[in-house]
A and B are shown apart, each in its own frame.
Chain A
Amino acid sequence: MECIPSQSWLQKITSEDKVLLINPPIQEVRYAWIRWNQPTDLLILSSKLKNEAGCKVELLDFMLPTESGRVPMRDLAKAKEVRTKNIKTTYKARTYGLPLEEATQQLTSILPNWTPTHIVITTMTTYWFETLRPVISYMKTICPSAQVSIMGAYPVYETDHAMRMNADYLITDYFDTAEYCPDFEVYSGEITKFLHNGRTLLFGGLRLSDNSANAIEQIKSLRRQNIRDFVFFESNIFREDCKPLLEMLTALEKEKLSINLHGLCGLEIRNATEGIYTKMLQAGYRSFFLEYDLDNTELNKDSYRRAYLELVKHNSGRISSGNLAGFIMIGTAEDELERLFRHTLNLLEMCGSIIPKPFTPTINSEKYIEVKQKHGLDKLTPHVFPLAVDNGITREEYMEFYQHTSFLNEKRLGQSFDFFDNHYCSVALKRSLGKKGMMI
């Protein structure tokens, strides 16, 4: 096994090589946003490999949803156990993604005619490593001559741990991909399509930092493949006073592309400028999932109010309450249960639904290292609340909190009423919430 920087790894790839990129299945206790999983890093690497090495690239995306948007999921016999201060909590663990056995038929039919020389497996986080070793062992059994490499957060930050995975190469830093866009075309390739049993992309995941002309070209290309839904994967979509976003929205408007945009992440509402939501609506944004915005420990009312007024109150069209959601961060070291409950109710006044976003410590932070040493790397998944109990809130209480938000969201999901439709039920609920601290 060799730990190798990305640039050196890249030099090993020649135009003669056949590279199979793998987005592996993952083991988790919960995965709510599965249909929006897209291996952007692999798609960008595909562009880079094709351009710089001139090699053949195919993709095996275990997380590619079916046409109905579902990703296969299987319960694991082994539960995930976490013990803090003598309190033991068990979580049912599942494998998300196409089971290896189901990929076998496609893979083994392809291999006699297209045998990869390199297999690159990506990792999105440092703690999603549990499926790597079986996948590697499986791939090396059916394709013994291929060299297997692991890239992404896991080998970069947890190199020592990743050495247990039996890969041939651990790529220890990130590829320089600034000049490249995701290679969505790879999904349409004959072999990749066959590996996915004819399934293809459901949406396009783009980066706002991409040159807007490039992004428009990619959108056009995806539209030709009948893809209408797009997401910008950004940590802060409103950065630089919304200039990159505005540039993109203007370009979209100019091209008159009929698309659906989904604001799933990076809507840091404190940076939103006046009128930006209206422009987003005009450009085709269908959903707005607002990041949790606090002013010290309380909700930043101004930012939420601005979003509410532009998206609901002054919007001549109509946005359903399911498409305007507010994240609420839970599982931090500073959590206070009473405050969290209060925030859910406050958020419901302005957002049609609420989505708890469990917290995990930033990689290599003090808390990260503490959790890793105390519980193990796999317990860094936010869904087991690594900082719970120590912060005074038990995991059971977090589960209750989940149930509480589910109850509130269920009203919307069950379509018994819409928080924004001003019918009797929604008005009554809003009034009752008002007693607990009306914000608008």
Chain B
Amino acid sequence: MEQVVLDQNNMKALRFGGISPDVLRELSGVYQPFVKAVKEIISNSYDADAEVVELEFGTDFESLTITDDGNGMGPIEFIRDYIRIGKSYRKSELTAIKGRPRIGGKGIGFLAPARYCEMIEVKTKKKATYEDKVQFELSGVKEIDVEHIFLYGHENEAVLNCIEIKRVTDEYGNEVPTQIDGFKIKFEQLTYHKCDIWYVYDASDFELTAKINFNKLFSLEPSKSLEQIDNFCEITIETVTGQKKHQSYTQIKLHNIKEFVRNDLKDEGKKGARNVASLSGFDQFEWNLSRIIPVNAKIHENIPSELRDYIRDEIDRAKDSIPINIFIKNDESKEALERRIIKPVTKLDFQHDKDIVKKLELFDENNKMFAKGFLVGQSSLILPAELRGILIRVKGVAVGEPTFFGFDQILSGSSKVALTQISGEINIFTGIDAVEDINPGRDGFYKESKVYNLVKKQVVGEYPDRVTGVIKELIDAIIARSDINASLVNFQKKYQSYRDTILEASQVIANLAIENPEVEDAFYESTDMSDLKLCPSVLPKAEGKLSSFSVYEVEDLEDGENGYKVNYETKELFLDKNADIWKRNINIGRQNFDIELKQGNKKNVKMFCQVNPTTRKIYINWDHPIRTSMGDTQFIKHCLATIASNLPQDQLDTYVSLMTSKV
């Protein structure tokens, strides 16, 4: 294995000519907070078509190693592209292999962690043989030797054995007649133009290790030139053998992470935190990272399958390998980083809940701008609070915090409350210009941005003082559901109180029967059947905002929660017959009796209740006037007590008159 450590003279090639340390500091300051610096490193992995990126923090957060399986870099690219400020030449919009829209862009990636650690160590390797070019400006000479270009910054001559100069073109791409002998190029005519020298490079033999020392980089006085820093980067090139030859990767290790970052990451957060700001420092780091890198969304099972597929395939475009797989390793586990989206409190159905589940497709007249998104509303506050609003992402990267385009400041009352129950995302794929539309810190859009205003118009409407559009529909649906849910809670409470009364009575009767078996025996004695059993049954009927709903009792209710399911669209309420809350049976002396509520008025029945021991039915006259005086649950108890104590119901006229105040 050959190893080359460059001496001080060779390092001169790695100076930042003409840039003052102040400018460097300014540039590194773009990446605030720490997570944005990490994002910048991962963005490079993303643009290098990495499938997987692993993040591993060292003990006590002293270091962070970020490893990807992307294209890697050869020594020439590393020096030409990575450690130079600004890109050497413009790259295509999409990455070469996966066709991802590029998300890195400032070309100062290596400076990103400069404020947060003392040094970074980059190990990178490329497995491929590839064609590339270097630019050369001819100054009227006929013969040039370009060997020094390929040794620039590392002086490792072994690299030269893997490079073959193929051709020379002018700035318009036309071939320039030359004779090529190794790195010597003889031009047939004198030229003064820029030209591109095309070469083929087999990078598979070399792994490059570079240590960039930020302490040294920033150690100069602001007034001094960076020319005076002569050894901020130490490069080592090793020849690799075996399996490694066939691998491409880049590994960046942040050494000696600064105390303030470590303290932030170690912060334990608040117990029972309801918003992200109160989570532990590490959890906040994960949360923020998941939003500023295109990763898959964590889709809860309560999200309807149609929307789940839409988010994965159409918004995140997982099938097109647009999201990257990031794993965060610690001592015990390796967890995939996923972007949290709303976790609806109840299972939603795309058809039944279409008033609160929306797919969005946004575009301009010329189809230049194109975006997809979704909105989900729910009947309770969305937690954590940072999920409330619409998160706008550009090429999968969030721009600022979720927003309601300022309407959260304008709306009031129930509409404002409804906004706390809406969450969504919009991912803009095309038509956005990072410079014209988004502010440099990616904290938000410029207010004059055409794309932003187009999205705003399609989501909240065009009026400055009132909401229209899809958000208005969602707000109205949430308010309507809120009213219905309030009635539903009362409906449930009522039925639960019936059930509790029956359960309580079953225990009391059982207890009394230990010493007085006749209490239970009374349920087995035949009573006057009169007409109560022939009266129609009382059907479940909802009240308030639910009164317009049809109520059905069904077996095997699918996706029902708490024993019911509501279809807000068709105004139907389905009760699960198997759920205990709706049941009206009681165990008396080892036998099961069904309690049926009857409309006694239909047959003019005066009795409170009757029992049929043969069919094991207990009929309760729900129209009896005494029910109004007693209340429903007391009346149920009263009826069971009437049977248990064998009260002569036909002799209780006075009692009933007194109780109902009717003479």
A207 CB within 8 Å of chain B: no
Q: Of A112, A142, A167, A168, which one neighbours B503 at CB under 8 angstroms?
A: A142
Known: A144-B585, A166-B589. A112 touches B509 (CB 8 A): no
Q: A104-B503, A133-B514, A137-B506 are in contact. Are A168 and B579 (CB under 8 A)?
A: no
Q: Let me know if B576 and A138 touch, CB within 8 A.
A: no
Judge whether B581 is part of the interface by a CB distance below 8 angstroms. yes
B side interface size, CB within 8 A: 26
Q: How many A-B Cβ pairs are below 8 Å?
A: 67
B506 touches A138 (CB 8 A): yes
> Given contacts A144-B585, A144-B587, A164-B514, is CB(A100)–CB(B578) below 8 Å?
no
B579 and A112 contacting across the interface, CB-CB below 8 Å = yes
> Residue B592 at the A interface, CB < 8 A?
yes
1/0 per residue, CB under 8 A from B, across A64-106: the answer is 0000000000000000000000000000000000001100100
Cβ proximity bits B365-396 to A, threshold 8 Å, 1 near / 0 not = 00000000000000000000000000000000
Interface string of B576-597 (1 = CB under 8 A from A): 1011110101111110100000
Chain A neighbourhood of B581, CB < 8 A: 108
State whether B578 touches A137 (Cβ < 8 A). no
A138 and B592: CB pair below 8 A? Answer: no
Q: How far is the CA of A413 from the CA of B388 in the complex (A)?
A: 53
Q: Are B507 and A112 in contact (CB under 8 A)?
A: no
Does any Cβ of B come within 8 Å of A440's Cβ? no
- Most B Cβ at <10 Å: residue of A104, A111, A134, A141: A141
Q: Tell me the complex Cα distance, A142–B587, Å.
A: 8
Report Cα–Cα, A104/B500, bound state, in Å.
Answer: 9
Give residues 105-156 of A contacting B (CB, 8 Å). 107-108, 111-112, 130, 133-134, 136-138, 140-142, 144
* Beta-carbon nearest neighbor of A107 in chain B: B580
| Shortest Cβ gap from B576 to chain A (Å) | 7
A1 to B589 Cα, complex, angstroms = 11
In the complex, the answer to whether A141 meets B585 with C-beta atoms within 8 Å is yes
Tell me whether chain A's interface is mostly helix, strand or loop, or mixed.
helix
Is B511 located at the chain interface by the 8 A CB criterion? Answer: yes
Complex Cα–Cα for A110 and B578 (A)? 11
Check B586–A141 contact: CB distance below 8 A.
Answer: yes
**Cβ–Cβ contact B587 & A140, under 8 A:** yes
Contact among B511, B578, B579, B589 for A134, CB-based, below 8 A: B511
Q: Specify the chain B residue showing the minimal Cβ separation from A376.
A: B515
Complex interface: chain B residues within 8 A of A142 (CB): 503, 580, 583
A167 to B590, CA, bound (A): 7
Question: With a CB–CB cut-off of 8 A, which chain A residues contact B510?
Answer: 133-134, 136-138, 166
Cross-chain contact A108 with B507 (CB below 8 angstroms): no
Q: Are B587 and A112 in contact (CB under 8 A)?
A: no
Contacts of A140 in B (CB 8 A): 587, 590, 592
Q: Which of B512-563 contact A (CB under 8 A)?
A: 513-514, 517
Contact with A along B475-506 (1 / 0, CB 8 A): 00000000000000000000000001011101
- Are A141 and B503 in contact (CB-based, < 8 A)? yes
Q: B500 — which chain A residues lie within 8 A by C-beta?
A: 101, 104
A168, closest chain B residue (CB): B590
Which residues of A are found within 8 Å of B514, using beta-carbon distances?
A: 130, 133, 164
Contact status of A141 and B579, CB under 8 A, knowing A101-B500, A164-B514: no
Which chain A residues numbered 165 to 186 have a C-beta less than 8 Å away from chain B? 166-168
B506 in complex: contacting residue of A1, A101, A141, A164, CB < 8 Å: A141
CB–CB A108/B580 < 8 A: yes
Q: Known interface pairs A101-B500, A104-B503, A164-B514. Does A137 touch B587 (Cβ–Cβ under 8 Å)?
A: yes
Residues on A facing B (Cβ under 8 Å): 1, 100-101, 104, 107-108, 111-112, 130, 133-134, 136-138, 140-142, 144, 164, 166-168
Known: A104-B500, A136-B510, A137-B509. 8 other contacts (CB 8 A): A1-B590, A112-B578, A136-B587, A137-B510, A138-B507, A141-B503, A141-B586, A166-B590
Q: List 14 A-B contacts (CB under 8 A).
A: A100-B507, A112-B578, A133-B511, A137-B506, A138-B587, A140-B587, A140-B590, A141-B586, A141-B587, A141-B592, A142-B580, A144-B587, A166-B510, A166-B513
